[in-house]
Structures are given as C-alpha cells and as structure tokens.
Structure 1
C-alpha cells in the first residue's frame, strides 16, 4: 500500500497525530489499532479515552475493540491488517492479566463515548452543589421542543413586566405581531444556543457591529491578494472609458471605504445568475458605449483569461453578499432588542431546567465547559482528568463545532511537551456536512497547522481505499477534483480534494453510468429508474444482489415509488412517506371521524371497508 508507512507511524504511541482519512480508507480500523496499542502499555484502561460524535460511531468502535479482544481465542488470521489487530489484542489481554483488569469481564472500563457523553460525565463529577443532583437528559426531540416552547411562551409573558415590555414589544412589532413566528424563532435559536450565546455575552451589539466589519476586511484582504496580478494596468486603462465604473482608477484595497468599488467591479465582470459567471459580452448597460468596439473586445478577452480561476470568481461574487459595514439606527435598535429577548429566553429555559431537574445536551456541555474552565482557578475536575487521562483519541473530527473544540482544548490545557500524553485525531474534512450544527472545517485545518493548546500534532494522510473498485475510485477522483476548490482556504472553510488510491485492481467498465435528464422531468426519470431496476433483477448474475436508490429529498421518491409499485417490484423504504399517508393512519382517522360525527357517511363507509370489518363494495 502506498500509505503503509503512515499507517505504521500512526501506531507510535509516543507521538500525537492528526490523520486525514478519506472514506473507505480504514480509519476506524486504524483508530481501533491505536486504542489497543495504548491499552497494552498504560497502567489502567481509564488512562485511554476515545471520543466520536454519534452513538452509532461509539457502538462501532466499542464493537471493534471487544471483537478484537474476543478473537484472540481463535486462529491468527491471514490478512496483514487483521494480524496487526490480532497481535495488539493479544498484548492488551496480557497487560490485563498483569494488572488484574479483567477487561473482558468488565468492558465498562473501556472509555469510548460521544462528546455529549463526556460532557455528562464531567458535569456529574463536578463537586458543585447544584450539579450533584441526578441529571436527566432530554434525549427525545419532542422533550427538548417542549422545553424550548415553554421558554418561548414564558418569554412572551414577560411583556407585562415594565423592565422588558419595550424589548419584547419591539421584536413583536418587527415580526408584524406574528406570535407563532415569535415562538418559532425563539425555539429555533434555543435549540442551537451553543452557537451564539457565548458571543452575545462578550459585547452584544458592539460585537455584532465589529464582527461585520471584520468579515468585510477579511474577505477584501483575500480578494486583494488574489486580484493583485489579475486586474492589471490594462484592465483599469480599459475601465477608464466606462461611463459607470470609470471612477475606479486602481485596484481597491481592503478598507471598508473600498467595499463599494469592489462591488462595482463584481457587477461589471460577473453575470447576475444565481451562480455568477464571467461575462462574455458587455454593452452600454455595463457602461461601455457602442463606439468602443475594440476596447470592449479587449475587455472581454481579459475576462476570458480569468476563465479557469474559479477561486477569484467566487471571491468576487461573494463581495455582493457582504453585509453593510454600518448599521442604521433602526437596525441597531432592533438588534439590541433581539439580543435582550434572546437572553430572557435563555433565562426562562434555565428556570425550566432547574424546576424539572432536566437538561438538554447543550446545557450539559455548558456545565462541563464551566467545570473545566481554569481561567480563575484550577478545578478538581480539571485535576482529575489531567491525572487520569493520558491518551485521547477523537474520531470524525471534521464535525467538531467551536464549542466542542473549546471543551477539548480545556480538557488538555495542562498538558506539557514531553509529559508522555498524546492526542490522536482522525477525520476527513472532505466529508464535513454539519455546518448547520456549527461544525467548521477550519478547525481541522487550524488543528493540523497549529495544534491544540500546548499539543502539536504531526499530520498524516491516508490514501488507500479498501471499499470501492478501481473504476469507482478513478471516477470519483476525476469528478471531485473538479468540484472541490483547487486550494484550501482556512478563512473560507475551503478544503481541496485528496485523491484516493484503489487497494484492488479489479475494474468494472460500467461502474459509473450517467443518465442525464432535463430539469423537472421527474416522471421520465422515474420510468428510467424502474427500467434500470427491472433489467438488473432480470440478470441471473445479479438476482441475489441488493439495489439502493438514493435521492436528495423524500419528495423525489414519489414518482419512483409509483413506477416500482406499478411494476410490482418489491422494495423497502423506511420513513419515506408522511405518517398521514399510511393506510393504517387513514383507517384510524376515519374511525375517529365516524365516532365524533355519527352522520359522517364517508367516514362510516371507510370504517366498514377497513381491515377490522372488511366489507366489500358490493356489500
């Protein structure tokens, strides 16, 4: 394998690493091997702690570790990577016997959990009086929504309080007195308060004003660097004859005052499409009079030379999306009121938590963060974890939010260079899809370049793909290298594509096939899908294979399901149709309507036709 050296190096338990591992590269197996290697040299199993972001991920890693330990009673496998895991498991059981761990009998000593699970343990271990009570986590969505809704309703009731009447009334007026919208927005914000509450407590409106200016300056700085050698003297000489934009004599800089100049350059050079492109023609609407034919041609030639520079095009188009640097008085006033209302809603939510003795995962994370905060004193919780935890492994690091990153940083804030403690991070920034939850690719890139707290990490890259055939991997390399940015950019959360290498040389010429359709040809597309499925299941060599149909949204399945049902093709579809459309739900609704209104003829006919009665239409 081309990356075997990196895989071997990752098992050096004296060093800290950050591993970029694309899909199918065996990252879970590698993390399992390092976990076993650490167990084989530590004093107690609790010295090693592994974390990931989902319960499913936790279950998979625990299952791998226990399976490896249990496999030692069987014959040593022949595959090299399985031999490595087998040998490490043997070493762990030997260590377990030496130290009296009884690891197979006490698997709870294997410390693998989610970040939320770690937060719960930290909170429970905190000696503060208010945190000694047994916590009940609101695990169900409806429980959390109930709490957020209650907080929103209580916040609105505070309009009767003279101290808060003005703030709440102002927000309601801004929402056209739409109370349901008020509730909806408050509950939505409370469900992700970990992404904004810390910022509101650091300066309120001044922070918002300054942050918008920082965003503008940061973006203009990037754009200026990228444009420096593109928009040359010839560009501005041609611009000088332009009626609309001739006032721009030289390349603007990254000052707030130059924002409008950058916007005008973007308006001139780019189309107004949803995804702007370089203009292919210019005319008097763009400031070029018809008498300047030769100059217009030269200008278009310059834009053509930018054609392959997607990064410049994106940066320039995003200028038009930048916020105004100065808030109007009305905007400032409403923002101040919104901030106050949000703070009130958090207070009401915390009162609900205290009264009901329940908490959501965000609140538990807040408490864990406070328990680890050593700005004013070194807490017993920090000392406990610094003494007990020597090695930390983190999976799926690309899904880390800034708040979770803060928790991890505080957990290892006391670690020093050469103290024998290690941090092992695995992830794939190309698979980061949880931006809506606050995860940021830049955290992976920053950690790779700068480390975490005092811990510097050596970057490793895996490239071998064990999951797919050579044809699929080659196709993906071709497609995604065009889709991803050419250069990574921390400030814009941009990551370039890392090509994979196939472990197997087996090729399949029909591994990837495109069936293009015009926009919104849903029925035609569904017919084509059903034909492909029909041909597949008729093939004797493929009859025992499974077929998966993936769509972007549930509604896209509607026509496909209709076609499959029309051809009597059996399929399994989980949670693809609303509950109200299920036949059982319709029968229950008919029964309810019939009982509530004895004269509802249609409802009674439906009841008589339902499975519990089963009368035929003739009856």
Structure 2
C-alpha cells in the first residue's frame, strides 16, 4: 500500500504537473471509504466546481473497477458527498448558522458584474453625501487637481479589488503608516459601509464576504463554539486539492476548524476516531497571486504539520511524470532547475525538484526565432504567420501517441497558449489565411460580439422606440442590411424620431423593415422580451447570419440573461439600464463543448491550467513580463497586514512593500511559464522575437540566458519554417475578397465535426406559465423556492407568508399588487394542507430529496435537470414534479402527455443512482391534484 493511503496519517503531497495529483486525492478518498468512514463525514475542497464534479466521477470509476459492492453503496449516497469549492463550503456554513450569525437564510452570492455595479453606486453616493458639507472626499480630490476624482475612484477600486485584506486591516485596526494611507482607508471605509448596507438590504453577499464572514464566525462570533462543535460532529476527514492556490485566510479557516483535531483531545479521540487532513498541490503551479493565493502557505503548512502531528504526519514529493515524453521532461528539468534554484531563502520563491519521465518515445521541443521588425504589430504578424505554417506542416503528418498507439495528429490535438490576449486578433487572421479551423476557449468580450451587440440594440429600441441610435444599428445590421446612404437621407429629413420617418418611405427595403419592426414593438406589449428575441430571429432568419457555433451559443446565452432579468422582476427600463452598463463588463463568451471538434484550441495559460494537449504552441515569449505595480500594495507577513500607497512610480522602486510585491510577481511569472510548458505531452513549440542589440526580455530571456545549461531543444528561424512548409507543397487557403457585413468568424467549423454527445435540459417550458401572465412566472419560482426550503427544513410553516413576501420583493419590486399574490400563496398552501399533499410530499421526510440535480446519458444524448422532490417509502422512490400554474381539468390529458417524456427521464435518473423501483407523479398545486405519469 502506498504510504499516502495510510488513513492514520495526516498527509501533504507535493505533486508536480502530470504526476497524477487528482488520482492520488481520489484514491485517498476511496481508502477512507473502504476503512469505514461515512461518506457524509468526508469533506473535500477543490478549486473549481468543474474539479469537484471530476473528483466525484473519478472516485466512482475507481470503485466501479476495483470494489463494485462499495460502488453501488456510494452511488446511492452521491447527493451526500461533500465535495465542493471553498466558497461553496463557506456558504453552507453561513446558511446553516444564518440565524445565529444574524444573516438572512435566503442570502445569495452576487456575481462579479452586479457586485461591481453596486460598489460603483456606493462610491458615488458616498461622494454625493458630502456635497453640502465638504469633507475628506473633497479634500483628497482638491489636492489631486483636475484629475482628482478619476484618481480617487481608481484608488478606491484598486483597494476594493484586493478584498478581503482591506476589510481585515479595518476590522483588526492594523496600524497604518503615513497620512495619505490613513485618509484612503477612511474614505474606503465609508464606501465599504454603504456597500455592505446595500448588500444586506438585498439579502446578498459577494465572494469576498464568504471568507470574511466565515472566518469571523469561527473567531469572533459568540456562537463560534457551537459552529465548531457542529463541524466536528459532522466531519472526520478533510481533503484539499490544489493547495498551492490557497490564500492565507482560507488556510486560517481550515486551521480553526481542525484546531481540536491536533490537540490530541476531544470527542473523536475519546471515541477512538482519528481525524485526518490531506493536502495535495504543487507550489510550482501557484499562479493566482492576483486573487490572493499565497504560495508560502504550502511551506507553512508543511512546517506546522510536522510540529502538530509528529509521527502521525507524512510528506511525499512525487517525482514521476505520466504526461510528457522524455524530451519535454528533460527540457523542463534543465531550464527550471536554473530558474527555481533550491538554494533560495525567500519564502515566496519556488524551489524546483526535477522529475522523471515514465513514458517512452521521442518527443520534440523547438524554439522558432523571428527576425525583429519595425514595430510590435509587424513582429507579431510575422510570428503568427510562422506559427500557422508550422501547424500546417504538422497537421496529418506528425505522429503522436494516443492510448499507447501512434497516429497522425489533427488540428484538434493542437493548442495555442497565450500569456496575454493583446495580439489575439493577429493570430486569428494568420490562422484564417491558412484555412486552419480554430476555437477560442474561455474568451472574454461577450458584450462586444456583433450578435450580442445587435440583440442589445434591439432590446434598447423595443423599450425606447425613440432611440434612433439603436434603430440605426438594427437597420445597418445583416438582418436588414439597409444602405448607409439611404439611412443618411432619412436621418437628415425632419426633426422627428427615425421610426416615424420610416412610415412613408420611397425605398421598399425601408418599408419592409418598418412593417417588421413595428410588429415587434406591438408584440412587445404582451410578450416577454426573451421570447420576443427568439421570435425576431426566426422571423428575419437571423440565425443564418450567426451560424457559427460560438455566435449561436452567444445568442442563446444573451436570451438566457434577458429571461433571468425578467424572472427577477426587473422593469424594462431597469433591463435597458443594465444592458447599457454591461458594455463595460468583461463577461465570458458562451462555453462551447469542444468534444469531437477538429479545431485548434486557443486560450490563455491561466485557462489551460489542469489541461493537457499532445501539441502545444507558446508564442510571444519576448513579451515583457515585468510587473506593472499599482499605486497601492497590501502585504501580509505572519499576522500583520500592511498597506502602502505611492502614486509616483519612480519612488515606488525604493519602497520595501512595492519592491517585495514586484519580486513576488516576477517569481509567479516563472511559475506561469512552468504551467505553460508542462501542458504539452508530445510536442512543444515556442516562438519569440529577439530584439536587435538589446538584451532579450520576458520568457525568451529564461531560455537564451540559460542556453548553456538547457538540453533537448531545437532552435530554428523563419526561413527554416518556410522551407519545412514548402516541402509539403502546401497551397495557402485564399479567402473571398467580396465585402462582408460581419467581421470574419472566429471559428471555422470543419466538415469532420462529429459531436459525440448532445446535451439537453429537461425543464418545464417557460411559455406554459407565461401564457397565464408574468405574475405566474414569478409565482412559479417563488412556489418552488418555498417548497424546497420547507422540504430541507430551512423554513417553517409559521414563517411561510413572511418568507413568501421576501421572495416576491426579491423577485420583483415592480409588482404593486403584492397582497393579491400573497393571498394566492396562502390559498394554495391551505388546499395542499387540506388534501394531505403538504404533509405527505412537501414537508421534511426522513428519506427524501428536494431539488436534486442529475445528469443522465441515453445513447448520444446527455440529459440534465433537477427533480423537485423524491420521497422513498417501502423501497419505492416516488418522484414528484410541481406544476404551479392554474390548470383546468380538460387540459390535464394534454399536459400529462406533454410531460411524459420529462418524467420518464426523471425515473431513469432516479433509478440509476437510487437502485430502487420508481414511480412518477405530477402535482398540480393550484387545483390541487396528483396525477401518476
């Protein structure tokens, strides 16, 4: 047995890239299960929700293969598995003890965009409060001159981006040196208080609050002993993945939760139980300093474990690499031994330990040097051209290993990893010229995409038909394609709205557009905006202009956002204002399932962490990676958190706080390069432009400065690339020279695209409730929330009406007839109580589930959804789906037929993970009536 599987030991594993880190954590989890640990008493913390899902899948695969009996038992208890992110774990603690902590049980976590809007409002209002009695804000602005407000706003935003540390400085009253620092903290404190109050009014918190509130609950709250006791009662083991990305505060939370475990006393020890902590990570992959990750926490934990646990502690540093071929391993070892020397004494510096290749084969590492050009754009264009030609020379020629068998590579085996997105469009253009299909993964700029911009302008015009700019954008779009000169004549006519000028046009195209758009405006009076968008795209055949997969999914995502805004009860003016603000947001583009796509993948190095590819290209190695320090820096040293402020960049070079921060960021640049290099399995190609007569910069300098020590690298130039390219007699792909209404697509879908799986949501159609009016859309969501909270014991019947009122207010503050809606809720629950359905189905049961998520594969389709309620009695799992809209008896046969497929999927999903006989029912709550399906 591997030593790290000894469940009597507290373990830390340093597991470098490609060494099977996730597999080790999964096997430790399985060892705990096989030793008799209860599944609900094992807590595993991962870095992302995706990693949590993958962890569950890996655990089940190990059990299915090696211990089928336990696989069946664990599969039945899957909903009880406590595998989540640190933020999700903190949220559960806050909700579990919300009453004791003075929080609303229904609190929700804001996304970053809404949090930024609320923060901006708080800063502005804090300033406006002083307009009658100028104080600190105005003094600061006055001292900064004409750009005072911009400077102050930027400083406050910078400080806010460093949360939770500014909050901790304020809460702990850490001493601050310097009058300007004190002023800034005082200003920030005022804005933060207003921001906090705004969140409380809306029953919201942000991501930083999750950690701060949890830590305070464990340290300062009068109920801290009860919280720790409850955690101790329900948890025997903690496992933490990606430990190198842990922040100091996150480690303090784990430290406090396990305080009694390492004391050698407590109820567990008395009962003969030995609680354990298992940490796994790789210091060399700590690349989230900007999010608060502290690489020195890894070494600190090692030192503390040794002190706390003595002989009950085991540390292991893995040396094997199962991912890359020897050439890549040898290159990695030779360069990073120089970049990360073991002799360093600074705790934020990384020490490199070479690892061993376990795969056999050749592999390839090459560096393409591009001749220096006149300017950056020219250099990047030449680099992108060489990269594209190199890809073409490899495609369907270079042999890679796939499951122990050699085969020729395809475009889908290749990834381009960028440090920054600055010159992304140049690489896109070069790939298009060569006819290389590509997909940009985890890209930002969602609201800048033409299809999203078009829909945003459509919404803006529908809400305000006097908005000439939005109408102009619509008419010029591919949907209508009206010539600019025709529109210019219309605009210059009379001083009336553009839509009115279109009523009697000379041009047939304009007349046709007017008829269509006028119909949309009329239809919008009784149709939800989300449905209207889909209708307009169908009516104008707009989908044919946005056929590429990325654009298609972007449209779907935008319609989903509008549906979400409407379901929250936002007025149309509020929706319009929200869309205007989103223009400045960096929203991610819609996710694409790349499985089966024969396309080159482009992403940032950060986005590639945790992934691997047969062939990796790393361009722009010469980009300057010298950190640009901001005017504010926060440093943490042991228990002290300190702040420094300096606008003058020259002076910052002599201030200790700024110097140390720069050193940390330079060290992280090395780790980022390590992550990039270790994504490659078989072939690694790097590109850079060495400057003439000046020292090399960026990651290129890492290589050229250490060439005497680096082995296993082939260095070529542009001429070599062109020669290789020409030797295959490749004919460049030529593009059409005709004018385009749209920018070139960012994904050229290949003929060979064969998706292996189709994902489908199994959810109730919104139009069923919409046809009864917008009130029933809102009521449907409120009813489902009430049913869930009652079933989970979060809500009592005594608090039902009060909670219903809160949910209605949160869902929509535009509905005036609140009493009528509360009366509907009251009436529905009364009839459910009289019928017995409330007690038998909705209220808490000993063996039941509420809002249970599932994924079910049938053939090539993967269904996903949530089951409202499952109640298990006499070895039969009864599945209930709530239908909360008004129904007439004569409609029942059609509705039952409509939902039969949905309920069939629910039954199969439940049967799969419960291994029980199942029955399914529709509960029409408004009647009330229970119908078996």
- Say yes or no: TM over 0.5: yes
2:382 matched to 1:528?
A: no
Correspondences of 1:336-485 after superposition (within 5 Å): 336-373=182-219, 378-418=224-264, 419=269, 420-451=274-305, 454-455=308-309, 457-485=313-341
Q: Which has the higher helix share?
A: 1
Structure 1 residue 345 displacement after superposition: 1.7
1:181-260 matches, cutoff 5 A: 181-204=151-174, 207-209=175-177
Work out whether residues 217 and 224 of structure 2, in 8 Å CA contact, stay in contact via their aligned partners in 1: no
> Is 1:557 matched with 2:409?
no
Using a 3 Å threshold, how does the CA distance of structure 1 residues 385 and 42 change in structure 2: closer, same or farther?
farther
Bigger RCO (CA 8 Å, 6+ sep): 1
Report the alpha carbon displacement of residue 605 of structure 1 after superposing the two structures with TM.
7.3
Change (3 A) 1:120 1:455: farther
Q: Is the 8 A contact 1:470 1:507 kept in 2?
A: yes
- Deviation string for 1:482-538 (max 9, x for gaps)? 1223424354x0111121111113223xx1011123554212212211210121125
Question: 1:42 Cα shift?
Answer: 3.7
Would you say 1:502 and 2:357 are equivalent positions? yes
Are 2:66 and 1:66 aligned?
no
Provide the residue aligned with 1:18 in structure 2. Answer: 12
Normalising by structure 1, report the TM-score: 0.67
- Asked if the contact 2:389/2:434 (under 8 Å) is kept, the reply is no
Structure 1 gap segments, 5+ residues each: 1-6, 73-85, 97-101, 210-331
How many Å separate the matches in 1 of 2:362 and 2:172?
57
Secondary structure of the residue aligned to 2:422 is helix
Q: Structure 1 residue 395: deviation in Å? A: 0.7
Q: Which residue of 1 aligns with 2:871?
A: none
Give the structure with the higher percent strand: 2
In the TM superposition, what whole-angstrom CA distance separates every residue of 1:347-386 from its partner, at most 9, and x where no partner exists? 1111011101111121122221122226977521110112
Q: Distance in 1 between matches of 2:301 and 2:2?
A: 22
The residue correspondences of 1:132-171 to structure 2 (distance < 5 A) are: 132-138=104-110, 140-160=111-131, 165-171=134-140
The alpha-carbon deviation at position 131 of structure 1 amounts to: 2.3
Return the alpha-carbon distance in structure 1 between the equivalents of residues 13 and 81 of structure 2.
Answer: 22
Match of residue 514 from structure 1: 367
Is the aligned partner of 1:544 residue 2:426? no
In structure 2, do the counterparts of structure 1 residues 131 and 579 end up closer, same or farther at CA, with 3 Å as the change threshold? closer
Mean Cα displacement is larger for which, 28-37 or 538-547? 538-547
Task: State how far apart, in whole Å, the 2-side matches of 1:540 and 1:454 are.
Answer: 53
**1:144–1:587 distance in 2 versus 1, CA, 3 Å:** closer
Kept in 2: contact 1:423–1:455 (CA 8 A)? no
Q: Is the 8 A contact 2:19 2:322 kept in 1?
A: yes
Distance across 1 between alignment mates of 2:307 and 2:62: 33
**In structure 1, distance between residues paired with 2:453 and 2:259:** 58
Distance in 1 separating the partners of 2:44 and 2:172: 32
Distance 1:526 1:21 in 2: 35
The residue that corresponds to 1:222 in the other structure is none
SS in 1 for 2:120: helix
CA distance in 1, matches of 2:280, 2:42: 16
CA drift of 1:391 comes to: 0.8
Map residues 583-598 of structure 1 onto 2, 5 A cutoff: 583-584=450-451, 593=469, 595-596=471-472
Q: How do residues 24-35 of structure 1 correspond to structure 2 at under 5 angstroms?
A: 24-35=18-29
Kindly indicate whether the alpha-carbon contact (under 8 Å) linking 1:484 and 1:496 is maintained by their aligned counterparts in 2. Answer: yes
Q: 1:412 to 1:581 in 2, by over 3 A?
A: closer
8 Å contact from structure 2 (residues 101, 221) kept in 1: no
Corresponding residue of 2:40 = 46
* Residue among 480, 485, 489 paired with 2:345: 489
User: 1:302: which partner in 2?
Assistant: none
Match in the other structure for 1:334:
180
Report how many aligned residue pairs link the two structures: 457
Query: What is residue 281 of structure 1 aligned with on the other side?
Result: none
32 and 170 in structure 1: CA distance in 2 versus 1, 3 angstrom threshold: same
CA–CA separation in structure 1 for the residues paired with 2:76 and 2:251? 34
- Cα distance 1:497–1:424, how it changes in 2: closer, same or farther (>3 A)? same
Q: Following the alignment from structure 1 to structure 2, what is the Cα–Cα distance between the partners of residues 389 and 585?
A: 46
- SS in structure 2 at match of 1:364: helix
1:409 Cα offset (Å): 1.0
1:17-58, CA deviations, whole angstroms, 9 ceiling, x for partnerless residues?
111000110010010000011122245222211102221221
Q: Residues 184 and 92 (structure 1 numbering): CA distance in 2 closer, same or farther, change over 3 Å?
A: farther
Kept in 2: contact 1:402–1:440 (CA 8 A): yes
Following superposition, the deviation at residue 570 of structure 1 comes to 2.2
Structure 1 distance, partners of 2:389, 2:2, is: 47
CA distance in 1: counterparts of 2:457 and 2:100, whole angstroms: 55
The 5 A counterparts of 1:278-317 are none
User: For residue 580 of structure 2, what is the aligned residue in structure 1?
Assistant: none
Residues in 2 aligned to 1:448 and 1:388: alpha-carbon distance in whole angstroms: 26
Would the aligned equivalents of 1:36 and 1:92 in 2 still touch at CA under 8 Å? no
